[in-house]
Chains A and B, each alone.
Chain A
Amino acid sequence: MVRLKNRYIVIEVNPRDQNETDTLHPFKLSQTALNQTVQGKVDQLHGDFGAAAILAGFSAKYVNPYTRIGIIRCRSGPHKLITSTIPFITQVDSCQVSVNILYVGATIKKCFNFVKLHQQRKSDEYCIKLESDEAKKSLKEALMNFGSM
């Protein structure tokens, strides 16, 4: 039997005009826009061949607007075309952005562990700036929301 291998790419979408540590303003993105942007950019940089290579098993999800984390699932092999393209993404849905690759994993569980650790670290970072316990609690809840994952 042949096994289908997937790769999960954890990305961070930072808007250009907003301060990176400004978590009080969530950065909303539609999932379809992210999906189309990645596919369009792969088509631009790797042509028809690249667009066709990544098409099977491709899906991009924007998970958390507070930590700006998104997850892209694709087949192992063509994921190299995607990881080489992601740094060139500058615009999603008429928003100027810069996209960082945080992690590339083979299982969603490993990605989940990474994202959890990453969000925990971020929430600790942000909590230092906040005064009241109420605000801290609500921020933590917002950051650790993996509902759509």
Chain B
Amino acid sequence: MSNYYYLDIKLILANPEEVTPAFYKKNILEAVKQLFGETGASIPIDILKFNSETLEAILRVPKSHYIKIRSSLVLSGKYEGIRCIYSIQKSTPLLLALQGDSRNYNH
């Protein structure tokens, strides 16, 4: 179907602070490098959209490495020394499917 997987993720920090897209990506890469080493860090990951207020982002990762990326996001626990978690809100092989997300829908 598609060669990519799209992940809608949210970074939740213990002490909220300002996060730039570069630091956001750095933290994701560090998480992958911690769990899967330099071979993992060589996986091309793209941030398609980034919301600096809610710290939500849409990631694009190759389908073949989707499981690796997702598991390293789950096991990541630090952002610049602050405790953090990544909440994976939705993942899909079709970008359009991120459009209708009932989890964040407000009536």
Binding site for B on A (CB under 8 A): 42-50
Contact = CB atoms under 8 A, between A and B. Distances in A.
A47 B72 CA distance: 11
Contact-size category for B:
under 10
B62 interface: no
SS class, residues of chain A in contact with chain B: helix
Contacts, number: 26
A46 B39 contact: yes
Given A46-B40, A49-B35, 6 more contacts: A44-B38, A47-B33, A47-B38, A47-B40, A48-B35, A49-B36
A48 B37 CA distance: 7
Nearest to B75: A48
Interface in B30-66: 33-40
A113 to B, nearest CB: 33
B12 to A, nearest CB: 22
Contacts of A47: 33-40
14 contacts: A42-B37, A44-B37, A44-B38, A45-B38, A45-B39, A46-B36, A46-B39, A47-B33, A47-B35, A47-B36, A47-B38, A47-B40, A48-B34, A49-B36
